[in-house]
Amino acid sequence: MAAKKTSIAKKTSAAKKTKQADDGALPKIGKPAERALASIGVARLEQVAKLTEQELSALHGMGPKAIGILREALKARGKTPRAK
């Protein structure tokens, strides 16, 4: 019975991630990274694609884990961060 609940929870979580990616919202990256993006007016994944990874890493609160999560979210949508 417990395995069945876990399976349902995983499917629900995957569905939420898909919906989140479809609507262009930022993935879960942590509050400091969210605040860092908000400080430069970035609220959507499409806006992140206009920045380079170097620009992202220069933001206070944006660490390698958050950049990796953003990179993967962009990749899932067929996009990449802007080149240098």
Q: What is the pLDDT of residue 7?
A: 52
pLDDT digits (tens, 9 = 90+) for 52-72: 999 999 999 999 999 999 999
Q: What is the pLDDT of residue 1?
A: 52
Q: Number of folded domains in the chain? A: 1
Residue 13 lies in a domain: no
Residue 61 lies in a domain: yes
Q: In this structure, what CATH number is given to the domain that contains residue 44?
A: 1.10.150
**Residues 80 and 68 sit within 8 Å (Cβ to Cβ):** no
pLDDT digits (tens, 9 = 90+) for 10-55: 544 444 444 444 578 999 999 999 999 999 999 999 999 999 999 9
**Residues 24 and 76 sit within 8 Å (Cβ to Cβ):** no
Residue 5 lies in a domain: no
> Any alpha helices (H) in 1-84, and if so which ranges?
2-22, 31-39, 45-48, 53-57, 64-76
Q: What is the pLDDT of residue 21?
A: 46
Rounded to two decimals, what is the model's pTM?
0.71
